[in-house]
């Protein structure tokens, strides 16, 4: 078993160092019973980024994350996570992944006891870092876990995950249940814990909470990844503008939305106009990609 | 601490409150039983029985142990939210399975013996002080205790399999299944006997009764075979059956994680 793990780790380093990819999914098919969710899904994730995973309700974001962790098994296709096949659920792989689900039960014990119980599983766990995160999140380690609110529990697990120093952190709706100051604190903490060897995948509906944090973006739609690129790749090609009248049908716009004071339109960037235009927010970008995937072909990887 | 040690520690830490309550309740029950017996002995002028601990031990060993075993995988394997943490723990499925199996099969009986012994150490001097009863500490080193522990090893393995097989109501479903299997085996055995003896002695079972009136000397040649059958049965019951249940339970854990997980 030791040899197996060793060879797995060696393989992991080779895969990551040669291509910079920590995750590779090819032709993934997955279904819940007869309900086909993914068909020929492809995904590449490079290390050292904070990926945002976006998609409509039921698009399969959580399922995709569980496939990456080895909690669910695909019906077909090839998956490599940190050089391991997640189906094997090898301890060497699990020790390099921290997964924070949207809902989770915690045992009836003090936070300090929980830390003592679980930290040993992660060889690079940094206790000093954990204490710092707990101070940042205003957490009391002597408090019982069953007396904590959902937000406090989530902050505790976030602090734990960040301090575990795993190569891959998968966070499913991490800002759900967090109060407004905590959301800001969350962004700051994640940004401070980011290193070039770590990769974050954050699945969220609260795109405004993640503005300026997540980039690149992965957008799941109709059982496939329809967008996997940086926000800049869109802003380089398109420009957002506020116009007072609705664009004509003949006018070439990628997206339009009625807003206060007129229409927000996204159109191809004119070289002459240069950097003019409104900043493109993630919510609009998501709507553009989902409603008009064809015009984003250049952005789809 | 190695991974297996960490898993054992996790199991103990997550259930230590419930187990502490269980141990305290057990102590109170033993204390109350001893006290009631002391009262009865004092006012009825009957003889003092020293078998309270030995009498109660099998109840807690079997009922307590088998219920705890039945619940071992309920939260971690069959609870939609609970299983995520268990699945993501950096350890192999075998290690996770063995941690639960070892704790319920070996650590529980040892801990129960310790609680019984400590309870007797605390209770007996009090009984001596107030009622003048002789001090009779709980003695785990008896032949009866050894056979109870051997039986627990067998029954535990069956309930361990039940805990991994059933999604809900593990204990009752295992008991019901055992009942159904028992009835089915009984019917099969009866049919077997009826068919075999009908072939040899005719179609009526009345002839079957006749064989018991034969002289025991007639069975002399069969004694060797019966002895071998007894050894074979014991090996089957105490070794093969538990091992079968443990191995099947492990494969069931693997299967659930691959199919029903999350």
pLDDT of residue A5: 37
Residue B37 pLDDT: 83
- CATH 3.40.50.300 in chain A: give the residue spans: 49-74+84-225
pLDDT score recorded for residue B183: 96
CB atoms within 10 A of CB B209: 10
Alpha carbons A108 and A145: distance in angstroms, whole number: 6
Q: Do A105 and B81 touch (CB under 8 A)?
A: yes
- Topology annotation, domain A49-74+84-225: Rossmann fold (3.40.50)
Beta carbons of B84 and A71 less than 8 Å apart: yes
- Cβ contact A71–B89 (<8 Å): no
Q: Which chain A residues touch B if contact means CB-CB below 8 Å?
A: 1, 66, 69-73, 87, 89-92, 94-95, 97-99, 101, 103-105, 107-109, 113, 117-118, 120-122
**In angstroms, rounded to a whole number, what is the distance separating the alpha carbons of residues A130 and A136?**
10
What is the pTM for the complete model shown?
A: 0.84
Where do the domains of chain B lie? 3-168+214-259
The rounded Cα B124 to chain-centroid distance in angstroms is 28
The whole-number pLDDT of residue A156 equals: 94
Chain A neighbors of B81, CB-CB under 8 A: 101, 103-105
Block residue for tokens 């709706």: A173
Half-sphere exposure of A285 (CA within 13 A, CB side): 33
Minimal CA separation from B233 to chain A, in Å: 36
pLDDT tens-digit series, residues B18-50: 999 999 999 999 999 888 888 887 777 666 666
Strands A255-259 and A262-268: antiparallel
Q: What is the pLDDT of residue B218?
A: 63
CA distance A34 to chain B (A): 15
* Strand A168-172 with A50-55, pairing: unpaired
pLDDT of chain B along its 262 residues, tens only? 689 999 999 999 999 999 999 999 999 999 998 888 888 877 776 666 667 888 899 999 999 999 999 999 998 988 877 888 899 999 999 999 999 999 999 999 999 999 999 999 998 888 888 877 777 888 889 999 999 999 999 999 999 999 999 989 999 999 999 999 999 999 999 888 888 777 766 655 555 555 555 566 666 666 777 788 889 999 999 999 999 999 999 999 998 887 755 4
* Structure-token pair, residue A52: 């945002």
From first to last of the 301 residues of chain A, give the pLDDT tens digit: 334 333 444 444 434 445 688 999 999 999 988 889 999 999 999 999 999 999 999 899 999 999 999 999 999 999 999 999 999 999 999 999 999 998 888 888 999 999 999 999 999 999 999 999 999 899 999 999 999 998 899 999 999 999 999 999 999 999 888 888 888 888 999 998 898 889 999 998 888 888 788 888 999 998 889 889 888 887 777 777 888 888 887 777 777 888 888 888 887 777 665 556 677 778 888 888 887 776 665 444 4
Nearest partner of A284 among A260, A251, A259, A252, judged by Cα: A259
**How far does the CA of residue B169 sit from the closest CA of chain A (Å)?**
21
CB A199 within 8 A of CB A150: no
Q: Which long-range contacts (CB under 8 A, 24 or more apart) does B8-11 make?
A: B8/B99, B8/B102, B8/B103, B9/A117, B9/A120, B10/A117, B10/A118, B10/B89, B10/B99, B11/B99, B11/B100, B11/B103
List pLDDT tens digits, range B191-214.
Answer: 888 887 777 666 555 555 555 555
Distance from CA of B12 to the nearest CA of A (A): 10
Q: Do A103 and B81 touch (CB under 8 A)?
A: yes
Q: What is the pLDDT of residue A17?
A: 43
């Amino acid at each position: 078993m030791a040899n197996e793990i060793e060879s797995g780790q060696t393989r992991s380093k080779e895969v990551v160092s040669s291509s910079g990819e920590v995750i590779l999914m090819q032709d993934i098919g997955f279904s819940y019973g007869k309900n086909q969710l993914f068909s020929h899904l492809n995904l590449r994730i490079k290390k050292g980024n904070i990926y945002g995973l976006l998609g409509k309700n039921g698009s399969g974001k959580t399922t995709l994350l569980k496939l990456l962790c080895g909690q669910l098994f695909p019906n077909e296709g090839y998956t490599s996570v940190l050089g391991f096949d997640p189906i094997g659920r090898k301890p060497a792989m699990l020790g390099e992944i921290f997964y924070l689900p949207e809902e989770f039960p915690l045992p009836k014990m003090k936070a300090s006891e929980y830390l003592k119980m679980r930290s040993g599983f992660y060889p690079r766990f940094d206790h000093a870092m954990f204490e710092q995160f707990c101070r940042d999140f205003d957490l009391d380690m002597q408090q019982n876990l069953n007396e904590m609110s959902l937000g406090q529990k989530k902050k505790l697990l976030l602090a734990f995950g960040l301090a575990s120093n795993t190569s891959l952190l998968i966070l499913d709706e991490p800002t759900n249940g967090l109060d407004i100051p905590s959301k800001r604190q969350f962004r700051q903490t994640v940004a401070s814990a980011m290193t070039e060897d770590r990769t974050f995948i954050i699945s969220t509906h609260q795109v405004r909470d993640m503005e300026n944090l997540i980039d690149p973006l992965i957008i799941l739609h109709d059982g496939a990844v329809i967008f996997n690129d940086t926000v800049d790749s869109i802003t380089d090609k398109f420009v957002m503008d506020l116009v007072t009248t609705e664009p004509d049908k003949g006018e070439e716009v990628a997206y339009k939305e009625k807003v206060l004071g007129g229409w927000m339109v996204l159109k191809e960037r004119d070289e002459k106009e240069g950097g003019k235009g409104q900043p493109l927010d993630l919510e609009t970008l998501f709507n553009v990609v989902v409603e008009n995937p064809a015009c984003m072909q250049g952005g789809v990887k | 601490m190695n991974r297996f040690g960490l898993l054992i520690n996790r199991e103990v830490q997550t259930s230590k409150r419930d187990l502490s309550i269980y141990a305290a309740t057990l102590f109170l029950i033993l204390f109350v039983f001893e006290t009631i017996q002391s009262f009865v002995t004092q006012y009825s002028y009957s003889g003092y029985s020293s078998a309270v601990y030995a009498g109660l031990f099998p109840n807690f060993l079997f009922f307590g142990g088998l219920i705890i075993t039945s619940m071992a995988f309920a939260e971690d394997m069959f609870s939609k939210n609970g299983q995520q943490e268990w699945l993501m723990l950096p350890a192999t499925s075998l290690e996770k399975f063995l941690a639960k199996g070892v704790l319920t099969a070996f650590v529980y009986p040892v801990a129960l013996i310790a609680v019984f012994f400590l309870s007797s150490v605390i209770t007996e001097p009090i009984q001596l002080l107030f009622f003048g009863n002789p001090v009779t500490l709980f003695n785990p080193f008896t032949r009866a205790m050894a056979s109870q522990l051997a039986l627990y090893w067998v029954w535990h393995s069956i309930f361990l399999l039940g805990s991994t097989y059933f999604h809900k109501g593990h204990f009752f479903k295992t008991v019901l299944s055992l009942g159904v299997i028992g009835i089915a085996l009984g019917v099969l055995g009866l049919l077997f006997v009826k068919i075999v003896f009908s072939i040899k002695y005719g179609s009526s079972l009345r002839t079957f009764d006749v064989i018991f009136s034969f002289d025991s000397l007639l069975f002399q040649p069969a004694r060797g075979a019966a002895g071998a059958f007894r050894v074979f049965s014991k090996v089957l019951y105490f070794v093969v059956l538990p091992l079968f249940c443990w191995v099947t339970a492990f494969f069931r854990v693997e299967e659930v994680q691959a199919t029903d997980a999350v």
